[in-house]
Chains A and B, each alone.
Chain A
Amino acid sequence: MTVIEKIQKICPEAQVSTSGDTIVTVPSDSLAAVAEALRNDDQEPMDYLRDIVGMDWSEGLGALYYLESSKTYGRVVLKTVARDRDEAWLPSVCHWWRTAEIKEREIYDFFGIRFIGNPDMRRIFLREDWKGYPLRKDYDMDSNPLNMENEENADDTVEYYLKPDGTVEGHRNILFDQKDFVVNIGPQHPSTHGVLRMRTSLDGETISRIDPILGYIHRGIEKMNESLTYPQTLALTDRLDYLSAHQNRHALCMCIEQAMGLEVSRRVQYIRTIMDELQRIDSHLLFYSCLVMDMGGLTPFFYGFREREMILDIFEETTGGRLIQNYNVIGGVQADIHPTFQQKVKEFIKHLRSVIQDYHNIFTGNVIATTRLKGVGILTREQAISLGATGGTGRAAGWANDVRKHHPYALYGEVDFKEVLYTEGDSFARYMVRMDEIMESCHIIEQLIDNIPEGETRLKTKPIIKLPEGNFSASVETSRGEFGVMLESHGDKTPYRLHYRSTGLPLVHAMDTACRGNKIADLIAIGGTMDFVIPDIDR
């Protein structure tokens, strides 16, 4: 029995649409029943909620639920529409997937849909006194002028529940009460890797709750996308997670190419794959440098940046950019690789293999490092899946979630590489996953670098691209997890909605689970090994 048949068995009125991705529309009343059945299925439990995408259709507000099974890697998309536009309600699914706790808050913030049963219905990115919901189609862009008043954050929140007579009522949930000792960390703090703010309540030295406050770098990229043409939307992807610039842009190009029915040449596939892996090494080197610096060691920072500069040189010669390269375009890449590209990449990998032992000598075996990382900030496999903590964080807990392996794209189906898995789920395992992945990336590049075939590097496309109607999606494995592009086209030259699955949002959400019961002194080390980049979370 396929997933769709299972859904139709529970909910006979479910409709299936196949323009682009296959989407099953279920009425909002049956959403909870369908979610529960899919989550608890024996053969194919849909236990990983990839993302919830809020939508403003002309028929009403609603959401798309992207589900995946950690057992079979099968995927399904559910769609549901809330009845009333002014009083939009949907049932919360956070009982089955904990990641929904934070993603439903995002949808509430952007669309004003309230989720019945979510314990925390506050705004997440925008100020608490923000007026209106910016991603609704009828939002007035001038309705919130710059407000220089300092923001006050409430210590309580509202949870909505359904009364037996069908009406909805809210009751107060207390986040921090008068007796809690709350320490504010951020938003201007050098070790939170961006402008993350965490309100941390302490019991002595032990962390009892972390409340992340996001949005200090929320730039409204998803709203801007709706008024940009497809080639224009590419420019903003590099600025999401700037340490995965190539990979982010790769995902969006793949999604648009798939919707257009465009097949890029083998040469482009080779170049994209090599660039993705170089970017991954670049990001992991920076991870190493920053983690050790956050923990008080300065020398490894110079090690990491020494090798990183070599990658940036290679990037710069071919793409013209150091950090933000703007290299992938729809139908190929901006320009062919530099004549010395292959030689330099090979020299770099040889060099990296010769110095990587220094990295381990100075930090990995160090007694201070191991005491501060081993057994600290544990996330179990079940927690990681439920929280949607993909990438190295999930793999450190034993969850095989590498998109390159399980949903191969570009050339990942043809190269030989190992998915790095650890089972401890602690900070040290998260660190080791990244260090091992550097070597795996080298291995992938070595298989490809000598065999780049001749061919077109850029297919000619029209300057104005119109995509067929439908929903399209693509996902890639970026340096820190699964990055997804979810696109809805209504046949125009601009997307109707273009959503990005943030890799970091679930990781920040997981901080509360990973840090509870640990010491405040370990907070920065745990956050460092989670390896989130805030502009990618806030978008």
Chain B
Amino acid sequence: MEVKKKTAIRSMQYDEFKNNDYLEQMVRDLNRDGAGIILGSVDDLINWGRSNSLWSLTFGTSCCAIEFMALGAARYDMARFGFEVTRNSPRQADMIMVLGTITHKMAPVLRRLYDQMAEPKYVVAVGGCTISGGPFRKSYHVVNGIDQIVPVDVYIPGCPPRPEAFYYGMMQLQRKIKVQKFLGGVNRQEKKPKDMDSND
């Protein structure tokens, strides 16, 4: 079945992104289930706004956080993409960027911050440590992948990732948001804590 909903991000063509099976599947589901003209159009509008004003909760634990700061400075200027607003309170954030190693002592704190965020919320795992434990995989005090604690939407590999890699990952997240169903979908995604443990 051909994919009909093609989402372009900025000036980048759809084909340049076409390498993510997971998003392809989401688009197929969306096309299969269909949506009303009005609801669908409102969804598009809301998603356009949501994807271009992602506010992140700063959760920098180590090296990757410094690269994230470089993103905020003039050269890489993340304001171009609408990510420049970082929030220090989980109540005001749309997504959490986990920048750096998560240790056993930090894990309950991360989970608590995640639980405090309002739906819809997204998690971006930045760097080798958050993805798998990275160079510290064999340590006694490092969580081998934050997907054991919180559901992850985008993984950005690297140690630390280059600023360009950050953008690529963030644009994947924008693209995911654009193909999500908002009304009746993610805006009503309230689940009980026990269901959230089983990753979606």
Contacts and interface: CB of A to CB of B under 8 A. Distances in A.
Interface of A: 125-127, 134, 139, 141, 144, 146-151, 187-190, 194-195, 215-221, 223-224, 227, 235-236, 239, 242-243, 286, 301-302, 305-306, 308-309, 312, 322-324, 534-535
A301 B108 CA distance: 32
Contacts of B72: 301
B101 A217 contact: yes
B5 interface: no
Interface stretch (B12-20, B22-30, B38-46, B135-143): B135-143
Given A194-B61, A194-B62, 11 more contacts: A125-B105, A148-B108, A188-B113, A190-B60, A220-B140, A224-B136, A236-B135, A242-B62, A312-B70, A323-B67, A324-B160
Interface in B24-78: 58-63, 65-67, 69-70, 72-75
Interface of B: 58-63, 65-67, 69-70, 72-75, 86, 88, 100-101, 103-109, 111-113, 135-136, 138-143, 148-149, 159-160, 162
Contact of A227 (B73, B105, B138): B138
B143 to A, nearest CB: 6
Contacts of A148: 107-108, 111, 149
A188 B65 CA distance: 12
A75 B106 CA distance: 38
A216 B109 contact: yes
Contact of A305 (B73, B106, B149): B73
Contacts of A242: 62-63, 66
A190 B88 CA distance: 7
19 contacts: A127-B105, A134-B140, A144-B104, A146-B104, A151-B105, A216-B105, A216-B106, A217-B61, A219-B103, A220-B141, A236-B135, A242-B63, A242-B66, A305-B74, A309-B75, A312-B70, A322-B67, A322-B70, A323-B67
Contacts of A306: 73-75
A477 B161 CA distance: 28
B106 A195 contact: yes
A158 to B, nearest CB: 21
Contacts of A150: 108, 112
A219 B74 contact: no
B167 to A, nearest CB: 15
B75 A286 contact: no
Nearest to B90: A188
A490 B106 CA distance: 35
B126 to A, nearest CB: 13
A146 B139 contact: no
A60 to B, nearest CB: 23
B140 to A, nearest CB: 5
B105 A218 contact: yes
Contacts of B112: 150
A286 to B, nearest CB: 7
Contacts of A190: 58, 60, 86, 88
Contacts of A141: 140
Nearest to A187: B109
Contact of B62 (A127, A134, A239): A239
Contacts of B100: 217, 535
Contacts of A322: 67, 70, 160, 162
B135 A220 contact: no
Nearest to B134: A239
A149 to B, nearest CB: 7
Contact of B73 (A139, A195, A223, A301): A301
B63 A147 contact: no
Contacts of B60: 190, 194
Which of A141, A188, A224, A235: most chain B Cβ within 10 A?
Answer: A188
Given A189-B88, A216-B109, A218-B141, A147 B104 contact: yes
Contacts of A239: 62-63, 135
Nearest to A135: B140
A219 B136 contact: yes
A220 B107 CA distance: 15
B135 A286 contact: no
A224 B139 contact: yes
Contacts of A323: 63, 66-67, 160
A215 B148 CA distance: 20
A160 to B, nearest CB: 25
Closest A-B pairs by Cβ, 7 of them = A305-B73, A220-B139, A242-B63, A535-B62, A219-B136, A216-B106, A220-B141
A216 B63 contact: no
A127 B62 CA distance: 19
Nearest to A538: B103
Contact of B148 (A127, A146, A305): A146
B100 to A, nearest CB: 7
Contact of A216 (B58, B61, B160, B162): B61
